[in-house]
């Protein structure tokens, strides 16, 4: 059995194993560190101030998150790597915006 498939294309599939498509809804009170094993959908309200969101350390290649900014005001979420460093290019989610981030095996990449 193959344990790794790179650059595969899947159509009409159902995700079953390790499915974390639950939703985490948070109103932030400071920098938010995404815990390992969090649901893949993050609905984050900035709480009225621009906030930083640090991604989990030691993710598996292909791990991903959809980050939604549900703030009522024009306050951005800045996504950072697990050490609190800026992503390259910079990743900012504006009010009512969404960004998908994926671990490439070496860095968090985003759309």
Query: Which CATH number goes with the domain that contains 89?
Result: 2.60.120
Do residues 53 and 70 lie in contact, with contact meaning Cβ atoms separated by under 8 Å? no
CA dihedral 13, 100, 27, 49 (to 10 degrees): -170
| pLDDT reported for residue 8 | 63
| pLDDT reported for residue 4 | 64
Structure tokens that stand for 79 in this block: 């996504």
Mean pLDDT taken over the chain: 86
| DSSP type of residue 58 | S
11 located within any domain: no
2 located within any domain: no
Domains contained in the chain, number? 1
- Full residue range of the structural domain in which residue 78 is found: 23-110
Give tens-digit pLDDT for 47-97: 999 999 999 998 888 889 999 999 999 999 999 999 999 998 999 999 999
């Amino acid at each position: 059995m193959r344990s790794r498939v790179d650059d595969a294309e899947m159509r009409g599939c159902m995700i079953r194993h390790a499915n974390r498509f639950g939703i985490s809804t948070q109103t932030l009170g400071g920098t938010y560190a995404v815990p390992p094993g969090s649901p893949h959908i993050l609905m984050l309200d900035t709480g009225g101030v621009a906030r930083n969101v640090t991604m989990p350390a030691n993710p598996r290649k292909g791990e991903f998150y959809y980050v939604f900014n549900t703030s009522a005001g024009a306050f951005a979420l800045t996504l950072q790597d697990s050490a609190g460093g800026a992503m390259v290019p910079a990743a900012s989610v504006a009010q009512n915006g969404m960004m998908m981030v994926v671990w490439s095996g070496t860095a968090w990449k985003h759309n």
